[in-house]
Amino acid sequence: MAFELPKLSYSYSALEPHIDARTMEIHHTKHHAAYTNNLNAAVQGTNVSNKRIEEIMAVVSKLPVAIRNNGGGYYNHNLYWEILTPGGANAPHGVLLDAINDSFGSVDSFKEAFVKAAVTRFGSGWAWLIQKENKLVVSSTPNQDNPLMDVAEVQGTPILGIDVWEHAYYLNYQNRRPDYVEAFWNLINWDEVARRFKG
């Protein structure tokens, strides 16, 4: 049983002009593919080789660092592709909207916190919207860590995440990470984020 690189449900050019086709293609076929292949190699012969990725994340502190890095890379990109869409609900709705209002006061305040987490994460990493019981929390992680990991400073179930590694935006945005984060806002698949939220 090997981990597989998922197919995207949209074309590489579908997210233009916000994310360009070349970035998408390299990100999927090179970066995500490498994390997937390296994860398969890293779990071989270990006692987690038949575990689900979520189960592996939960005990990652006890495993080789290659599983932490590549397992995180595998999981995080699976989520990233799914919470992006060229079209769909353009704002949170339903019980997710209620939870955002309860936890942050307003969608604008949530957005401000999320953008700040994404822009201020030093170096490579991710910013997250996390469910912790009935509360929503914004956090960020370094490298390919994520909130499912037992090593994460803030743990919970990620329902939205943005990749702020330079490989996610550099071809189009160069050093302008804030512009990429703002553009990302136009691409969020709020139906998928709502699906991941357990209200």
Binding interface with Mn ion (CB under 5 A): 163, 165, 168
Torsion sign (Cα): 164, 166, 172, 175:
positive
Nearer to Mn ion, 25 or 59 (CB): 25
Structure tokens at 80: 């990233």
Helix or strand (DSSP H, E) at 55? helix 53-58
Name the residue with the smallest CB distance to Mn ion: 163
Q: How far is the CB of 136 from Mn ion (least distance, A)?
A: 23
Phi first, then psi: give them for residue 6, nearest 5 degrees: -75, 155
Nearer to Mn ion, 73 or 92 (CB): 73
Q: How far is the CB of 165 from Mn ion (least distance, A)?
A: 5
Q: How far is CA 186 from CA 87, 94, 133, in A?
A: 9, 19, 28
Please say whether the beta carbons of 103 and 136 come within 8 A: yes
Nearer to Mn ion, 79 or 130 (CB): 79
Q: How far is the CB of 23 from Mn ion (least distance, A)?
A: 10
Q: How far is the CB of 98 from Mn ion (least distance, A)?
A: 31
Nearer to Mn ion, 33 or 59 (CB): 33
